[in-house]
């Protein structure tokens, strides 16, 4: 088994959700069969949305420093349970050298193609930075249309989740955002912000829902085992 290094903290609850799901998905006979996971759950990285708007500093220096630190501690494969931060994946890959970096974008795109083969319209539950960087637009390519949520409502909703709001009102608001994407033609919904699965899942929509977090869990296990 390879030691996994997790570039976390974006946000911290989403990182913990990823770690819990990674733990649960690992088939073991006893505790010694679990992965060795080294996590830097740092919530003080520069805001990805502000950086993408050029309204704030880049998170790249922090991501690079964490990459180097995790490798120094023995990480043999790197993952990052944050979609928006993948806009700076190139900086991570450059800093990682020979240590592989598992892309949540690649994993999620592959998971959508398995869940709904031939889908031509994806509802993308993702923040401004992910949308602006066109991570999934480019990941799916020109044959797949992307429909986006109402960002004026979606961004405050994500902020509420980051602040610990996971109650009925937040869940209902996220379900309403998803329903609007289905009404706009989405054949499958992609939870492409790692806060989304904290309040929204496959039972909350009339079309299949793919969690980028779950896709990254599967890809991490494949890379580490």
pLDDT digits (tens, 9 = 90+) for 165-210: 999 999 999 999 999 999 999 999 999 999 999 999 999 999 999 9
CA distance 49 to 84: 8
CA distance 82 to 91: 15
* Ramachandran category for residue 99: left, alpha or beta (phi over 0 → left; psi -120 to 50 → alpha): beta
pLDDT tier for residue 122 given thresholds of 50, 70 and 90: very high
| All residues at 6 or more sequence positions from 198 whose CB lies less than 8 Å from its CB, including other chains | 13, 14, 17, 161, 166
* Ramachandran category for residue 120: left, alpha or beta (phi over 0 → left; psi -120 to 50 → alpha): alpha
Token digits for 115?
């869940």
Nearest-Å Rg of the Cα atoms of the chain is 17
Give the pLDDT confidence of 10-41 residue by residue, as tens digits.
999 999 999 999 999 999 999 999 999 999 99
| Segment 45-58 mean pLDDT | 97
Q: Quick count: other Cβ atoms within 10 Å of Cβ 185?
A: 12
Burial of 168 (0-12, 13-18, 19+ CB in 10 A): exposed
State the pLDDT at residue 61: 98
State the pLDDT at residue 157: 98
Quickly name the fold that domain 4-103+214-224 has: Rossmann fold (3.40.50)
What is the overall mean pLDDT for the chain?
97
pLDDT tier for residue 94 given thresholds of 50, 70 and 90: very high
CB 111 within 8 A of CB 214: yes
State the pLDDT at residue 116: 98
Whether 104-212 and 4-103+214-224 are alike in CATH topology: the answer is yes
Domain ranges of the chain: 4-103+214-224, 104-212
Quickly name the fold that domain 104-212 has: Rossmann fold (3.40.50)
CB 85 within 8 A of CB 105: no
């Amino acid at each position: 088994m390879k030691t996994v290094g997790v570039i976390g903290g974006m946000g911290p609850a989403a990182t913990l959700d990823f770690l819990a799901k990674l733990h649960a998905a690992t088939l073991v006979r006893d505790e010694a069969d679990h992965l060795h996971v080294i996590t830097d759950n740092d919530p003080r990285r520069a805001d990805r949305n502000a950086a993408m708007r050029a309204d704030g500093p880049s998170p790249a220096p922090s991501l690079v420093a964490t990459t180097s630190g995790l490798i120094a501690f023995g990480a043999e494969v790197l993952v990052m349970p944050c979609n928006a931060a993948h806009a700076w994946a190139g900086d991570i890959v450059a800093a990682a050298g020979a240590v592989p970096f598992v892309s949540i974008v690649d994993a999620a795109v592959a998971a959508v193609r398995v869940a709904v083969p031939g889908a031509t319209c994806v509802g993308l539950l993702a923040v401004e930075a992910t949308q602006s960087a066109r991570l999934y637009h480019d990941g799916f390519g020109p044959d797949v249309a992307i429909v986006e949520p109402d960002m004026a409502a979606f961004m405050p909703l994500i902020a509420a989740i980051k602040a610990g709001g996971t109650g009925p009102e937040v869940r209902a608001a996220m379900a309403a955002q998803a329903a609007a994407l289905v009404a706009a033609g989405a054949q499958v919904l992609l939870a492409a912000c790692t806060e989304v699965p904290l309040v929204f899942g496959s039972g909350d929509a009339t079309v299949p829902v793919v969690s980028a977090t779950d896709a990254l869990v599967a890809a991490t296990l494949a890379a580490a085992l």
